[in-house]
Amino acid sequence: MSVGNEIVNTSIPSVDTFVPEDHHSMWSQLRSDIDDLKQQSTRTLSVHDVHQYSVLYSLVAEAILTGFIILIIWIRRRRTQKLALKSRLESASVGTADCQAAAFTTKDHREHINPKRAFN
């Protein structure tokens, strides 16, 4: 073989002969497993099983309900905080606008009273 074939191995692999497998043993094992499961499924549920399932489903439902309530409370608090911040910002901007309006009015008033002082 050449050096290139040893590095990349471009040679065609040898064809193995096909050997059929015996699936009858696997099929019989699978069938017996299915029959065992069928016999186990015909068993009736005991009181303990019913109790265990009911407690499990109750706990899962309670966890989902608790998560839903916590989510609602979190969303409401966020919304309330945003509204409070928005109203604070609006009141601050209104306060600033009132101060600016008062300063403008005072300046206009000074211009009307003493025109020489208007440029000071």
36 domain residue, yes or no: no
**Tens of pLDDT along 44-81?**
778 888 899 999 999 999 999 999 999 999 999 888 88
100 domain residue, yes or no: yes
Largest CA-CA distance found in the chain, in angstroms, rounded: 116
* Pairwise pLDDT comparison (120 vs 61), residue with the higher score: 61
32 domain residue, yes or no: no
Q: Are 110 and 117 in contact (CB under 8 A)?
A: yes
**Tens of pLDDT along 13-39?**
666 666 667 778 888 889 999 998 888
Number of domains in the chain: 1
DSSP 43: S
Q: Which domain holds residue 84?
A: 48-110
Q: Cα separation of 97 and 89, whole Å?
A: 12
103 domain residue, yes or no: yes
65 domain residue, yes or no: yes
Q: Are 110 and 118 in contact (CB under 8 A)?
A: yes
5 three-class SS: helix
Across 2-11, 59-68, 78-87, 98-107, least confident range: 98-107
116 domain residue, yes or no: no
- pTM, two decimals, is 0.39
DSSP 42: T
115 domain residue, yes or no: no
